[in-house]
Every structure is written in structure tokens, then in C-alpha cells.
Amino acid sequence: MPQQHLLPTTVVGSYPQPDWLVNRPMLSKSVPRVRMDIWRLPDELLEQAQDDATILAIRDLERAGIDIITDGEIRRESYSNRFATALEGIDLDKPGHVKARSGHRTPVPRVVGRIRRRGPVEVRDMKFLRANTDRLAKITLPGPFTMSQQAINEYYKDTDEMVMDYAVAVNAEAKDLVKAGADIIQLDEPWLRNDPDAAKRIAVKAINRALQGITVPTIVHLCFGYAALVPGETKPVGYSFLPELADSTAEQISIEAAQPKLDLGVLHDLAPKKVLLGVLDLGDPRVETANKVAERIRRGLKHVGAERLIPAPDCGMKYLPRKVAFGKLKALSEGAGIVRQELAG
């Protein structure tokens, strides 16, 4: 494992997919919850193309100087649907629908039986990443609470029971991902704020179940939605469900902070967790300077010790032009370098 320095940089998960691989105009309209055919290649060439595009993403992350990388989630239509639609107990032929705040009807998995994991979903992805980088390697899974919110329940009498079955499925996958070489496992739980009452009741219990027995560092990621789809001025300036996460067994909490200009006082609530602090505003098409990133890191350091701070983008970078994403990540690693030197005196 490579030598770890203070303020190691990372990504949240996704990196832009090449235009030759996916239909970006189609992708830009919504975040798919069921399968969506965004792929520009025929089935027989798709895996090969996804493998090659994944190597491009890995190399970009390495060249940008990121310490803890992912595979860029190049094979996914969204952060959650690849895993969520692979489970037993859902009807994909006749999906259900949820109404977004915009009034837009989004098709979602319809739960018609007990949620169970059929077999490995992301294990080949993890092995591929492990075989193609020496950096610390992280892989993400959709969190059990978020998946339960992105589904229509027509089977369980008690929805909390459904959340816990999702947690068991995530846990089985996470254990296999560790065996496949994952150094870090992250659960994406952006929908925690979708139903605050249910979140208070069951989210921490479900997250802990999903992470049970995982021997590598674990992260829970929270955010207010992709900058490409949720404008900054409509984002809340605080999280309704953050202090609660300090009670979870996750070692680290990942939060969006740059775009919504989050009051960083909330970081005190997260002690003793490590914090992946969002210091790249993905709603701003301009590439931040390294100094701007350094300034945001320093602001974070007023509330959390350097040994607990991990600079990161606000969220996944899937919706950005690749050039912009690369520039921002380079600024991230250079900005962290500036502050690292200051700390070394």
C-alpha cells in the first residue's frame, strides 16, 4: 500500500464517460433508477469499450494526482441502478413511478418479492480496477436507505424490513468487494434527506448492517444532488441528517460543501469521524485555482484536524465535460499540496 500523507485526495465516485461510449444528451435529462440504454455500442462490444474507457478514467485520476481513486463508475448508468436492478425481488418489466419535485415521473424498481442478492454485481469491476492501479482503490455501492427510497414497495408490510433486506444485500456485496481488492468501501446515501422520519428510525441501523464485518475503512456519502440537475441556489445550506451519522460504524463521512456554501460548523458534529470535505464546486464550469481549493481546505481545518480531513469534490463528476473534471481534480491535488506544505512548516 502506498505511503499515506496528510490530506490525501480522493474522488466521490464517478468520472465523465467518453462521448463515444454514452449518449450524453440522453444522460443529462435525468438520473436513471431503472436500466436506461445510454450506450452507443452494440451489446457484443460494450464490455470491451467499457473496459477501455475505464482505463482512460483510471489514468486521468492518477495523472491528476489523486491519492485514492475509483474506476470512475464508467460502466454505470447511474451510481445506484447497476446494483439496484441486479437484485432479486424487483419487477423491471413493469417499473413503478415516483414523482420528482419538478413533477417529472421517474421509473423506479417495483418491489414485488423479498429483496435478495443473486450474486456478485460489481466484483469484476473491482478486480479490474485492482489489476490496473497501484493507488489506494475505493469502490462505491448505493446505500440501503437510498435504494429503498428509489423503489416502489408492493411486497413488504413493513418498509423498514425492506430497508434491512437491502442492507443485507449490500453487505454481502461489500464483503466480496473487499476480497476482490477494495481498500475502501463507500455507501452513497444522498436520499437520506428524502424521508427524514424514516431516516431517523432506520438509516443508521441499516447502514451499520450493510457495513457489518467489513474490515477496510468505510464511508457514507451525502449530498444534495448533482450540480448539473440541481442548481446551487435551490440547495439547502445545511443537512437535516448529519449528526446522526456520527453514530454509524462508518469511519468516514463524505459531504458536499463547496457548491451550497455549507456552514462548516457542522463538522464538529461528526467527531470522531474522518471527513471527506467537498472542496470542488461542480456547479461552476470554471476550473478552480489551486489557491482557491487550498483556501477551502484551510476553512475546513478550522473545524476538523488535518489527520481527519480528506479533500474531495462535492459529488460524482459524471455530468461534467471531461476536460473540466480533469482540471478540477488537478487543482484539488495541487491545492491539497499547498496546504500540506504549510502544515509541514
Residues that bind Zn ion in the complex, under the rule CB under 5 A: 190, 223, 315
Closest to Zn ion by CB, 89 or 190: 190
Shortest spacing between CB 225 and Zn ion, in angstroms: 7
Closest to Zn ion by CB, 158 or 233: 233
Strand partners, 98: 106
Shortest spacing between CB 260 and Zn ion, in angstroms: 12
Give CA torsion, residues 98, 101, 103, 105, to 10 deg: -20
Closest to Zn ion by CB, 225 or 337: 225
Shortest spacing between CB 315 and Zn ion, in angstroms: 3
Shortest spacing between CB 281 and Zn ion, in angstroms: 13
Shortest spacing between CB 50 and Zn ion, in angstroms: 22
Closest to Zn ion by CB, 223 or 262: 223
Phi, psi of 277 (to 5 degrees): -95, 125
Closest to Zn ion by CB, 211 or 312: 312
Closest to Zn ion by CB, 210 or 223: 223
Shortest spacing between CB 265 and Zn ion, in angstroms: 21
Q: Between vectors from CA 179 to CA 178 and to CA 185, what angle results, nearest 5°?
A: 10
